[in-house]
Structure 1
């Protein structure tokens, strides 16, 4: 959660730009309006991971955001993005095309396409943004998305259904329910968002839905990976548990990973080792014993962890921590 009011007014705009580059998509931000209004800029961001799908709730003041070819070459997150405008409005320009967006409308666009988004002076803008890995929505032709994105009117019935679903997930009472979401819940909700978006794109692009639907194997594999990522600290994360959560057989789960040239268990072990490696080089965790970090990510036996880490990275965990600059 980011709230600009926690920062001095003069620091908010720059902090917002840095946050967007890290959490969303890197753009070049410019102030809009007089210098005094710029100093009063404020913004908030709240984000949630729904398996491989990321949902962000954004609110900010007047600005111009430019996604330039240079920024795309430097860092492309490889995502399609769907913006649902809640309040305010903006102009979205791509190439020689321009669309004007108001409350209730949606825009689908590609992070690899240059654009300029302009929120006018004295407007406070808020939206919900969904980010999809491109592999999750394999369009027949990426050029089917216009340079200025694909605007979708809010009165489209499928758009209305998607809008209500996204707003329900983003509602504070949903996020703070007495019975919180599990990792399995999040993955399934992400799957619903993906399926609704596929149905909406099929309508707007004038193609049969089956031509737009991702190959079920690839879509399912991405969902399984998202589930694994959100459960790496769970000692009960086994192929049987993963298969059950996705309503498939263990045999079919293993078939999903055949093209990855690894087994399900090896994939889990590799992702857990990577989490351990990340924690071992984190200065703020330098006080935490190696064995505690290993146990945190599913390695209860220190000797097993040390052997697996050395096989993967060529160093013992303590050697790696020392060389990375953290205290052993």
Structure 2
């Protein structure tokens, strides 16, 4: 991010960061400034994250492409680290303050193309899901003394769910005017994305998938019937494909690969793998080892990395 000061103001910034595994929560207090995320900066470094900010004082204008949006106090806005934009923040009464969250895109359980519809859009933090997310951010940044280091992963997961819920809520509002078949297909794509991100969880079942999307298991079944495959068969296929890829690329024991992708019983994994691909997983690995071409050895010089 490139930061420059407003011509009428001094350069003063206070920022505090809180890390909850891969999720970062931050607070900022600063004088009027201009923040830019340029194509050059993106090409140099892209963390593949979404940032959701909450303006607590001051006013802000965002421009990206040919679009513009204005934000006032207690409004949320989302940025994508992969998209250029410019933020101009101003105030007539003292410094500007805000709080926000930066989260890996892979932790937002929605298809990226769909989630991008929220980028730059003003969302109220005074009610609904916006208020829930705002309340959580304000609570965390006000007092962290009551939490233990072991709470970090739990808090990161909760914050990820709140950001996903905010994105989903806005998209569902937009989808109300769409034809029923389009809404069904959109929901099915969202569920498939959710499943891909939770394949490692052995507790991923019809009930947990349906509950996460506020639908019945029978409706979940009908959604997958459209593609001609039962939902849990689709889950098993996704797990097996990832296990097969790992067998060809990693030397870790077969039972560890199975567990990595949600198979709790090694025997069940071996049987399912042989049924799907016609050979046991160990034999498949041996076949891949013998068919991979031998590469010439290359000496590599170690060097220090620099980050933009």
Which of the five TM-score ranges fits, normalised by the shorter chain? 0.5 to 0.7
Deviations 1:268-302 (A, max 9, x none): xxxxxxxxxxxxxxxxxxxxxxxxxxxxxxxxxxx
| Aligned 8 A contact 2:13 2:28 in 1 | no
Structure 1, unaligned stretches of length 5 or more?
1-26, 225-241, 267-313, 315-322
Following superposition, the deviation at residue 243 of structure 1 comes to: 6.6
Indicate the residue corresponding to 1:258 in structure 2.
243
Following superposition, the deviation at residue 106 of structure 1 comes to: 0.8
| Aligned 8 A contact 2:60 2:72 in 1 | yes
| Aligned 8 A contact 1:31 1:63 in 2 | yes
Following superposition, the deviation at residue 265 of structure 1 comes to: 5.3
Deviations 1:18-40 (A, max 9, x none): xxxxxxxxx22211134xx425x
**What SS class does the counterpart of residue 198 from structure 2 fall into?**
helix
| Aligned 8 A contact 1:83 1:128 in 2 | yes
Distance in 1 (CA, whole Å) between partners of 2:72 and 2:102 is 20
| Aligned 8 A contact 1:158 1:199 in 2 | no
Spell out the pairing of 1:1-328 with structure 2 (5 A cutoff): 27-34=1-8, 37-39=9-11, 41-49=12-20, 51-120=21-90, 123-137=94-108, 138-139=110-111, 141=113, 144-145=116-117, 149-172=120-143, 175-177=144-146, 181-206=150-175, 210=187, 211-213=189-191, 215-220=193-198, 255=239, 258=243, 261=246, 262=250
**What SS class does the counterpart of residue 141 from structure 1 fall into?**
helix
| Aligned 8 A contact 2:75 2:124 in 1 | yes
Deviations 1:55-89 (A, max 9, x none): 22222221111111221222222122211222222
Deviations 1:135-158 (A, max 9, x none): 333436259537x71221234422
| Aligned 8 A contact 1:43 1:60 in 2 | yes
Q: CA RMSD in A?
A: 4.2
| Aligned 8 A contact 1:85 1:128 in 2 | yes
Following superposition, the deviation at residue 198 of structure 1 comes to: 3.9
Normalising by structure 1, report the TM-score: 0.53
Equivalences, count: 220
Structure 2, unaligned stretches of length 5 or more?
177-182, 209-235, 258-296
Distance in 1 (CA, whole Å) between partners of 2:130 and 2:15 is 25
Normalising by structure 2, report the TM-score: 0.56
Following superposition, the deviation at residue 179 of structure 1 comes to: 5.0
Q: Which has the larger radius of gyration?
A: 2
| Aligned 8 A contact 2:17 2:24 in 1 | no
Distance in 2 (CA, whole Å) between partners of 1:215 and 1:201 is 17
